[in-house]
Structure 1
Amino acid sequence: DRPFSSVEVSVADRTKTIVVRFSAEAEANSTSLRIGASFIGYEQAMLNQRRELPDWDFEEAKQRGREAWQRELGRVEIEGATAEQKSTFYTALYRVLQFPRLIHEIDESDAMRHYSPFDNGHIYDGPLYTDNGLWDTYRTAFPLFVLFYPEHSRSILEGWLNAYREGGRLPNWPSPGNRPCMIGSHSDSIFADAWAKGMRSFDPREAYAAMRKNAFENDAAGWAGRDHLDEYMSLGYVPVDARRDAAASCTLEYAYGDYCVSRLAKAAGRDDDFDTLMKRAQNYRHAWDPATGFMRGRLADGTWQEPFDPLAWGGAYTEGNAWQWLWSVQQDPYGLMELLGGRDAMAQKLDELLTMPSTTVVGGYGHVIHEMREVEHAAMGQYAHVNEPNHHVLFLYNYVGQPWKTQAAVRRVLAELYDVDGMVGDEDTGQMSAWYAFNAAGFYPFCPGSPYYLIGSPLFNELTIHLEGGGRFVVHAENQGRDNVYIQSATLNGEPFTRTWLRHEEIVAGGELKFVMGPSPNRKWGVGEGDAPPNDFR
């Protein structure tokens, strides 16, 4: 609201610096600035500024922002929360909605256009999104968008398809273009999950063509897809002598990715590929060492990598150890149960995971990484909530007929590892907060790519999801309290409910899921025939 006295622009070490000076005026105690930015050009930046800041009224701008966030956060209403829980919950939703960042802009005709980092900065029509760690967010953040914000999910999916159209591959870690970071190709999971839950905003044939590249074709540039795909396809696993680090983790994540790609192969009518991919989804078995009872790295000749310490971080594992990566078989937990020796053996192994010392061993990293210290601080055995590969693990108790242990463990994490100051571990572009938001509701997307949610333990007296189309799904918890973490009984739309899982269609149809909570486990709830979650391999 005052003229510049000078503007200086300098470039050094690939960094551009702009210094703006104002003339000194005795009566001016403050200066207001309106800034417009654009990836497309100067005229678009001016248009963006006029749209977002049409006047100099700072308080009015604050109010518009407040109203916008109220609309988004108001999709979910809670009752019976403490002040700290309410702040933590809505801050979690706020954080989830920060990512991925939209990179498209609205032109003078109100149409979406974007600068494409996937095609050397060319300008295209339509939406585009960036800045997202799909290795993290496929697990909970994107399933949250599908259920809570489906219109947002549809736009993101179209944006990822635009990235494929412009750059030839789906992104792995857009920031802003493709970045070779972490392992796997988890755009596969995002499309599979949306399709499994009834989203039909995209052509399954085009989506499958894009996903198929991840499962069957190397990316010559090395920016997308899967590392060492040829070895994986020929051997059924990624050998440690081909990939120095994270080979076992790659095998597990590629097998899960194959399951996800198979979902769209079926939708696209590619039954031959579907059969191949479903067989490959069992490749986790090639990482299983029955002698030690862990998933391990192995050489191309089939021998196991030595030496082996299940507490050692790194080596064949990404940001974790053998204890933490043992469970990365979301697509086939009953197959994992079989390898472990049955329900009782799997339950015992889970108990050991959560109760053993939280000791960390440097291992292949050669130095301490922050996730190690965070596991020690959390003090939940070798369970590593601070990092995403363990985010589904607590729900495995639902598969072994001990759902009360899921209930207690989930509520412990909600109480001890999250508060108004944040959480233990990285935010990871919304994934950590999405875990809190979903589990506060009392259910969780255990295996993205399937249409099921697993029951945990609801945190509030009442939580209402305002559904697309005007309906509501209400989770009500009678006798809720800090110590009343165990489900005593439940009803769904007034009918007795004993399943430890929900279908997506049951939620989006609207209704009420009502729990009665108590301080002691009810070992008879959720353990009958049909109460354990279903599985595509059984």
Structure 2
Amino acid sequence: MAEFERPFQSAELVRDGKVATAAAHLAETRAGEPVRMRVGTSFISYEQAELNLRNEVPDWDFKAVRERSRKAWARELATVDIKGASKEQKSTFYTALYRSLQFPRMFHEPDASGKRRHYSPFANGKILDGPLYTDNGLWDTYRAAFPFFVLYYPHHGSDILEGWLNAYREGGRLPNWPSPGNRPCMIGSHSDSIFADAWVKGLRTFDLKDAYAATRKNAMENDEWGWAGRDHLNEYHEKGYIPSDVRKEAATSCTLEYAYDDFCVSRLAKAAGQEDDYKVFIGRARNYRNVWDAETGFMRGKLANGKWMEPFDPLAWGGAFVEGNAWQWLWSVQHDPYGLMELLGGREVMARKLDELLSMPSTSVVGTYGRMIHEMHEVEFSRMGQYAHVNEPNHHVLYFYNHVRQPWKTQHAVRRVMDELYNIDGMVGDEDTGQMSAWYVFNAAGFYPFCPGSPNYLIGSPLFEETTIQMAKDKKFTVRARNNGPKNRYIQSAKLNGKLFTKTWISHETLVAGGILEFEMGPEPNKEWGSGEGDAPPDEFP
């Protein structure tokens, strides 16, 4: 509903039973005089829209409304305090923090008593109790945007998870891409990831029984309508991969992401005490090996008869891969990095492969897309080899250097991405409902959730002299980088709560307990720091 501060003198919409030019005349106005209007909306009812209007815009004081909004955002953004940033860096950082908080959107509305209700697109439009959220691409946001809520805003994260479980209770499926109901878009069932990530990091406000039942259904049952869950599960269960002559597009990308999702479901199975299920899912988490071709050194499209899909060009986009090529999708094994290292031929081979990824020409081969899609243009514009920061599947890749004990290369690369691809003029690539910004928020602080579903973060290179995160229960965690600057991007030494620290990873438990992580930075790599056998991230794959 809409309400004007002046009454209508006359209004006309219909003449002789026909729609006429819409016109409304307000009383007692002068030429050039502003007239204010306030609007209330609702998916529930006209009456609810009016209630929302009264709650959200209770008066005609525009400055007061703007000030209330400013204060609300100031409270949210105060969760993170940075020091030593340039004016442009500060604007870029808080813009990213603001964007990370914009999605998903609340789809519930308070009634007159304050009780939350929602129109349910999952239950044929019924009006039901409790929270519900919408407008989110989980294929993108499971990577950093949801881990962002778990660490930075656990109260929001907890409520969002309850909203997703309401979607499952009402419609029988967890959403993949709610907008506002289920929408068939992209691949995988990454709600598996967000529930596993929350659980292993101690955010356990949701019903584990429901969450496990919902994620198990994702992994075991095709969705009859094709709107949620995973497709081609019969082939995946039978062969351990999805044949590229059965699923004509993105079959290998699906296999890789299903294997990761199965790893996440195995985490929840273990937590729920379902040991037999755990063994099944952790076994399927190894299915990425079924699309590995040792001869070419890449993941490839595989046919139902077990033969490789031909022809094969690792630079060609499409075919067995979605929005990328074999160079970019090779690394989608974040749940078993040491297993991938073994396939590649060891630590040194993986390091050389990463070096090649970042240094080779950025040109694109259009492949089955038949044309240059925007992601191809953006990779070429970025000039970072075939590393595709502009699209989410590569967002963890730079941290593989920590696993090969060359963390100085992670430090160099993440700072380059922050310096060159993020600024006050915008960013290269899609925002994708907060994922691109959440990547920046994490990396500016100096660490990143390499594998959601793991309780650990990997160390990068902090952007500012000091970043303080307000944790729950009045705890604070501060990352301090002495002698930091645009050229001083390399970690020389580190201390955690005053004690020497050489690991290239840090646990969620350590962060939320509060403390200080201090780095000494310099212009040249210290190849001794973080390169010891015990310094690399732990192997969490059984």
Match of 1:435 in 2: 439
Deviation at 1:529, TM superposition (A): 2.7
Query: Helix, strand or coil: the match of 2:519?
Result: strand
Match of 2:26 in 1: 23
Distance (Å, rounded) in 2 between the aligned partners of 1:94 and 1:535: 34
Question: In the superposition, relative to structure 1, how do residues 27 and 360 fare at CA in structure 2: closer, same or farther (>3 Å)?
Answer: closer
Deviation at 1:366, TM superposition (A): 1.1
Match of 2:81 in 1: 77
Distance (Å, rounded) in 2 between the aligned partners of 1:423 and 1:457: 20
Out of 286, 289, 303, the residue aligned to residue 285 of structure 1 is 289
Match of 1:37 in 2: 41
Deviation at 1:23, TM superposition (A): 2.9
Deviation at 1:137, TM superposition (A): 0.3
Out of 251, 259, 262, the residue aligned to residue 263 of structure 2 is 259
Distance (Å, rounded) in 1 between the aligned partners of 2:384 and 2:209: 44
Query: Helix, strand or coil: the match of 2:178?
Result: coil
Query: Helix, strand or coil: the match of 2:318?
Result: coil
Structure 1 residue 423 and structure 2 residue 420: aligned? no
- Map Cα deviations across residues 172-229 of structure 1 (whole Å, 9 max, x no partner): 0000000010000000000000001001101211100000010000110111111101
Structure 1 residue 273 and structure 2 residue 283: aligned? no
Query: Helix, strand or coil: the match of 1:34?
Result: strand
Out of 340, 360, 366, the residue aligned to residue 362 of structure 1 is 366
- Map Cα deviations across residues 103-134 of structure 1 (whole Å, 9 max, x no partner): 00011111110000111110110000000000
Match of 1:243 in 2: 247
Match of 1:447 in 2: 451
Letter in 1 for 2:305: D
Question: In the superposition, relative to structure 1, how do residues 291 and 269 fare at CA in structure 2: closer, same or farther (>3 Å)?
Answer: same
Query: Helix, strand or coil: the match of 2:159?
Result: helix
Please list every run of 5 or more consecutive structure 1 residues that lacks an aligned counterpart in the other structure. Answer: 11-15
Deviation at 1:22, TM superposition (A): 3.3
- Map Cα deviations across residues 375-399 of structure 1 (whole Å, 9 max, x no partner): 0000000000000000000000000
- Map Cα deviations across residues 314-359 of structure 1 (whole Å, 9 max, x no partner): 0000100000000000000000000000000000000000000001
Query: Helix, strand or coil: the match of 1:489?
Result: strand
Letter in 2 for 1:6: A
Match of 2:213 in 1: 209
Letter in 2 for 1:198: G
- Map Cα deviations across residues 119-175 of structure 1 (whole Å, 9 max, x no partner): 111011000000000000000000000000000000000000000000000000000
Letter in 2 for 1:367: R
Out of 88, 92, 111, the residue aligned to residue 92 of structure 2 is 88
Match of 2:142 in 1: 138
Match of 1:226 in 2: 230
Whether the 8 Å CA contact 1:2–1:22 is kept in 2: the answer is no
Distance (Å, rounded) in 2 between the aligned partners of 1:9 and 1:511: 68
Query: Helix, strand or coil: the match of 1:469?
Result: helix
Letter in 1 for 2:42: S
Structure 1 residue 187 and structure 2 residue 198: aligned? no
Match of 1:122 in 2: 126
Distance (Å, rounded) in 2 between the aligned partners of 1:329 and 1:9: 62
Distance (Å, rounded) in 2 between the aligned partners of 1:95 and 1:202: 25
Match of 1:6 in 2: 11
Letter in 2 for 1:96: S
Please list every run of 5 or more consecutive structure 2 residues that lacks an aligned counterpart in the other structure. Answer: none
Distance (Å, rounded) in 1 between the aligned partners of 2:354 and 2:533: 22
- Map Cα deviations across residues 64-93 of structure 1 (whole Å, 9 max, x no partner): 000000000110000000000000000001
- Trace 1:437-476 onto structure 2 (pairs within 5 A): 437-476=441-480
Whether the 8 Å CA contact 1:331–1:535 is kept in 2: the answer is no
Match of 1:13 in 2: none
Structure 1 window deviating more from structure 2 (453-462 vs 42-51): it is 42-51
Distance (Å, rounded) in 2 between the aligned partners of 1:37 and 1:20: 22
Out of 296, 301, 306, the residue aligned to residue 305 of structure 2 is 301
Letter in 2 for 1:83: K
Match of 2:417 in 1: 413
Letter in 2 for 1:416: E
Distance (Å, rounded) in 1 between the aligned partners of 2:195 and 2:21: 41
The alignment's TM-score, normalised by the length of structure 1, stands at 0.97
Distance (Å, rounded) in 2 between the aligned partners of 1:314 and 1:125: 43
- Number of aligned positions between the proteins: 533
Distance (Å, rounded) in 2 between the aligned partners of 1:374 and 1:182: 19
Out of 170, 174, 180, the residue aligned to residue 178 of structure 2 is 174
Distance (Å, rounded) in 1 between the aligned partners of 2:181 and 2:246: 27
Deviation at 1:261, TM superposition (A): 0.5
Distance (Å, rounded) in 1 between the aligned partners of 2:149 and 2:534: 29
Structure 1 window deviating more from structure 2 (340-349 vs 16-25): it is 16-25
Letter in 2 for 1:206: D
Distance (Å, rounded) in 2 between the aligned partners of 1:57 and 1:236: 62
Question: In the superposition, relative to structure 1, how do residues 126 and 316 fare at CA in structure 2: closer, same or farther (>3 Å)?
Answer: same
Query: Helix, strand or coil: the match of 1:304?
Result: coil
RMSD: 1.5
Distance (Å, rounded) in 2 between the aligned partners of 1:451 and 1:17: 62
Indicate the percent of aligned positions where both proteins have the same amino acid: 70
Distance (Å, rounded) in 1 between the aligned partners of 2:237 and 2:385: 35
Deviation at 1:9, TM superposition (A): 9.2
Match of 1:65 in 2: 69
Letter in 2 for 1:391: H
Question: In the superposition, relative to structure 1, how do residues 60 and 283 fare at CA in structure 2: closer, same or farther (>3 Å)?
Answer: same
Query: Helix, strand or coil: the match of 2:506?
Result: strand
Query: Helix, strand or coil: the match of 2:372?
Result: coil
Query: Helix, strand or coil: the match of 1:408?
Result: helix
Letter in 2 for 1:366: G
The alignment's TM-score, normalised by the length of structure 2, stands at 0.97
Match of 1:100 in 2: 104
- Map Cα deviations across residues 382-428 of structure 1 (whole Å, 9 max, x no partner): 00000000000000000001000000000000000000011100100
